[in-house]
């Protein structure tokens, strides 16, 4: 159950991050070009691509099943076309260490 909740929460975050304000006409014109999904009790894979340049894919796995240290780890990426017309891509890992995004457009913390 924890796995399903974590998966749904992660998918909602990715969908929200990709959400750009579109007019009703623009929303009606966006077509799903590809949608793949395989969800199991201890792992999942999904990928989608839309005609407006939005795409995402991820693979997740439940680790340490049945123990106190049970945790999900996810590796994936998402991309979208920004208001400036540039395609932005974020690759990420989300696990017991938190959400760790990487992208050419993202700021990088200075080395301590």
Indicate if the pLDDT at residue 27 is higher than 90: no
* pLDDT of 109: 84
Using one digit for the tens of pLDDT, what is the confidence trace for 31-85? Answer: 999 999 999 999 999 999 999 999 999 999 999 999 998 999 999 999 999 999 9
Confidence of residue 18 (pLDDT cuts 50, 70, 90): low
- Domain positions in the chain are 37-105
- What is the three-state SS of the chain? CHHHHHHHHHHHHHHHHHCCCCCHHHHHHCCEEEEEEEECCCEEEEEEEECCCCEEEEEEEEECCCCCCCEEEEEEEEEEECCCCCEEEEEEEEECCEEEEECCCCCCCCCC
* pLDDT of 8: 47
Angstrom distances, CA of residue 87 to CA of 25, 63, 110: 22, 33, 25
Using one digit for the tens of pLDDT, what is the confidence trace for 72-94? Answer: 999 999 999 999 999 999 999 99
């Amino acid at each position: 159950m924890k796995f399903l909740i974590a998966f749904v929460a992660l998918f909602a975050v990715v969908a929200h991050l990709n959400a750009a304000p579109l007019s009703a006409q623009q929303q009606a014109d966006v077509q799903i070009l590809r949608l793949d999904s395989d969800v199991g009790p201890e792992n999942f894979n999904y990928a989608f691509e839309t005609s407006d340049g939005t795409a995402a894919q991820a693979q997740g796995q439940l680790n340490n099943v049945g123990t106190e240290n049970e945790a999900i780890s996810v590796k994936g990426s998402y991309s979208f076309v920004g208001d400036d017309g540039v395609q932005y891509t974020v690759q990420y890992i989300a696990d017991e260490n938190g959400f760790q995004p990487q992208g050419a457009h993202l700021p990088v913390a200075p080395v301590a």
